[in-house]
Amino acid sequence: MFNPRYTQGTIYSGTHPGLLTPDQQHAAILSVHNSPALENGQISEHWKQQIALATQSRAFSSPHQRAHNAAALARTSGMGTMNYNARNNGAAYGGAAANASNALSGRMNSTTVSTTTSNNVGNNLSTSSMMVTTTTTKTEEKNGSTHRQARQDWTCLDLGGIGLRNVSTDLFKFSFLTELYINHNKLTRLPSEIGKLRNLVILDASGNNIKAIPPELGLLVELREVLLFDNMITVIPPELGTLYQLKILGVEGNPLQDVYKSQLMETGTTGLITALRDGCPVVPPPPEREWEKLTSDNDDANEKSLMVVSDAEGSSVPKLNGSNTNFKFTAMSYNILCERYATSTLYGYTPSWALAWSYRKDLIMQELAGYKADIICLQEVDVENFDTFFAPEMSIKGYKGVHFPKSRVRTMNEVERRVVDGCATFFKTSKFYMHEKSIIEFNQAPSLRRQNIKLTSNMYNRVMTKDNVSVLTLLESKETGHRLIVANCHIHWDPQFRDVKLMQVAMLMDELAQVATRFCSMPSKLPPDYLKDSRPTYSDYTKIPVLICGDFNSSPGSGVLDFLSSGKVEPHHEDFMNNDYGDYTFNGRSHPFNLKSVYSETQELPFTNFTPGFSGTIDYIWYTNANLEATGLLKGVDRNYLSSIVGFPNAHFPSDHICLLAEFKVKQEKAPLTNPKFSNDRK
């Protein structure tokens, strides 16, 4: 006999409802007066699907039935498994009963596992009690990085129909699971620890006595199906709004509140998830990111008094009484997520109001104003927002900006070019003069043409088809006369073009050497008599401090990072991907700058880009270690806060990237060693 279950307000008892045909189910529900699933006397297509899937689910009440079906299928077909997507081909998400059988008829993705019956499962799981039918690995690619999980010989677990009353929390240590079937048991709750199963694609907990859905289920953003038919659920928590990939939320046979039933009837699972997402309460904000001091210098004890003089242009210049060697400044790098790229298709887990540019741009400006960096390097700034928002707002705050969009603007009309993004650099006018601004267009290959290097077919077909840019600004301190080159770059994103990333960075370093050489001979913008005898001089271009900020779309261990940190790349480096790039792949490449990533002073951040599909470090601030010293940096985001969210952007973080911020001090140049002179006189 089947336990009584709620179905659209009617209690069924006696014969197992799974024995009713879909037509019988429909007739029974239509007999209920004022059923919320009725539209003009007809059941909506969305609810027909609910009923059809519920009927199929009820037929899987025997112990380990899906595992047995999968094993039988493997024996008869000679296949170790069947791929979920290939087998169903999306049919499970179509209209009503015809597609429902495809969705539920013994499907098991990758691997099927059955275990011995137990009232408390988790600690009892062992390899000997599992049926393994295939081996799988999972690969995710996002923003230029590839993550491959450790080999796992089973990814699905069938604990259905075995009378479970509790599920051990040890079960949720199996974070590799993609499918979990705990249907038709005697469970009264789902533990909150289920939020640890971040790879779960299908969850079936139908036919239990579950009274509430844990909010932590909303952390499982890989979910495509959540089947909770025939339980005692009345409320769907708004935290499930982050399940942007969910196609089926099966809740037929639950005493749901009418508001949820009506939404499902009218808009289906997708519409319900969208409504939950946009109406979900905002989680408490994280603690402020901490500042970490990297040196224990005593600069504050040796503060210099300032006077004010006028430069040749008539503006005020702070004049130092004393040595001019203690020059410090702060620099920020931040990919702000261009308005055009922030779509609900890519960021479906983000509430629409938090994804809107009108909300995000104000949050971005609050960050910029709050950190007050002396130099700010932004990526993904489009022409329209630079001209109408960032440049005016930053000017009010005492900054001057330089912006260059991607090279595609050359082929566009005025309307189209307004939405093209690029890199924007801002600097405090009270602290710096700007000598020069320039752009490096990587598809123009300026360094190759200057060096008369033959352009290969790979250069034309792979490198020159990508229109990424880097913005260079040549600055001079108004206080001390120290010079600084700032490169702001956004490297190509696609992990299938690792060679292009490496070539773009190699060309960037070639151009930096040319620019630095030219900067050495430029006259100072300081007043003629200011620091006349102690003004810094640069005997060669490697003496000028360099900052390289940006989104490199490259993780630690990549060819890009190896080249920047070591100063060279071998001609046959694997990231060239066996492509021919002339001298670059014949002789390799090197650069003369002694570069260091500021966050390597402690340890690279666990991530600078945080989304459900990818979490990793791809943004960096590089500096020339020979003449700059990192004295402090902004630490990462609070781990406890991160455990409660699925990704950025959200209400507190306006981009899928976080900003990087560091403080630097110019190192004092050591006096050259001289040979000691000894007198030959003897007394």
Which residue stretches of 35-107 are H helix? 45-58, 65-77, 84-88, 96-104
Q: What are phi and psi of 40, to 5 degrees?
A: 55, 45
∠ CA 652-653-657, nearest 5°, is 165
> What is the pLDDT, as a whole number, of residue 345?
94
Angstrom distance (rounded) from CA 504 to CA 500: 6
User: What is the per-residue pLDDT for 502?
Assistant: 97
Q: Which residues pair with 426 in a beta bridge?
A: 376, 401
DSSP-assigned beta bridge partners for residue 314: none
Q: DSSP of 238-296, one letter per residue?
A: GGGGG-TT--EEE-TTS---HHHHHHHHHHHHHHHHHHHHHHPPPPPPPPPPPEEE---
Task: Find the Cα–Cα–Cα–Cα dihedral 516, 522, 528, 534, rounded to 10°.
Answer: 30
Spell out the residues 6+ positions from residue 590 whose beta carbon is closer than 8 angstroms to its own: 567, 568, 569
Q: What token pair was written down for 516? A: 């630095």
Task: Give the per-residue pLDDT at 245.
Answer: 97
Q: Crossing angle of helices 45-58/22-30, nearest 10°?
A: 120
What is the C-alpha separation between 409 and 493, in angstroms, rounded?
Answer: 19
Provide the token pair at 319.
């004049």
Angle at 189 between CA 185 and CA 192, to 5 degrees: 130
β-partners of residue 82 are: 109
Mean pLDDT for all residues in the chain:
83
Give the model's pLDDT for residue 116: 41
Please report the sign of the dihedral spanned by the C-alpha atoms of residue 60, residue 66, residue 67, residue 70.
positive
C-alpha to C-alpha distances, 523 to 308, 339, 354, 481, 600, nearest whole angstrom: 21, 40, 48, 11, 35
SS3 145: strand
Pairing of strands 375-382, 328-335: parallel
Report CA 660 to chain centroid distance, whole Å: 15
Which residues does the chain have with pLDDT short of 50? 1-36, 81-113, 115-119, 121-148, 301-310, 312, 317-323, 683
pLDDT at site 16: 36
What is the DSSP code (8-state) at residue 38?
E
Q: Considering 230, 467, 551, 562, which one is annotated as catalytic?
A: 551
Q: Confirm if 627 and 566 have CB atoms less than 8 A apart.
A: no
Please tell me the predicted confidence (pLDDT) of residue 153.
75
**Cis peptide preceding 649, ω within 30 of 0:** yes
DSSP category for residue 482: -
Residue 381 half-sphere exposure, CB side, CA atoms within 13 Å? Answer: 29
Residue 653 to residue 26: CA distance in whole angstroms: 47
CA distance 9 to 35: 8
The pLDDT of residue 132 is: 40
Per-residue b/e over 621-634, b at no fewer than 16 CB within 10 Å? bbbbebbbbbbbbb
Three-state DSSP at 438 gives: strand
The dihedrals phi and psi of 4, each to the nearest 5 degrees, come to: -55, 140
Residue-wise pLDDT tens digits, 182-191? 999 999 999 9
> H-helix or E-strand containing 436?
strand 432-441
| Secondary structure of 506-555 as H, E, C letters | HHHHHHHHHHHHHHHCCCCCCCCCCCCCCCCCCCCHHHCCEEEEEECCCC
Contact 387, 402 (CB under 8 A): no
Residues constituting the chain? 683
Spacing of C-alpha 346 from chain mean position: 11
Q: In whole angstroms, give the CA distance from residue 162 to residue 63.
A: 5
- C-alpha to C-alpha distance for 163 and 115, rounded to whole angstroms: 12
Structural domains of the chain, ranges and CATH numbers in brackets: 60-92+107-137+150-279 (3.80.10.10), 292-666 (3.60.10.10)
Q: Record the tokens describing residue 502, joined without a space.
A: 């490496």
Distances (CA, A) of 354 to 93, 341, 361: 28, 14, 10
The 10 Å Cβ neighbour count of residue 19 is 11
State residue 385's pLDDT score.
Answer: 98
Residue 517 corresponds to which tokens in the numbers above? 């050489």
Q: Is the dihedral of CA 580, 585, 589, 595 positive or negative?
A: positive
Q: Which residues of 80-114 are buried (b: 16+ CB within 10 A; e: fewer)?
A: ebbebeebbeeebbeebbebbbbbbbbbbbbbbbb
297 is a catalytic site residue: no
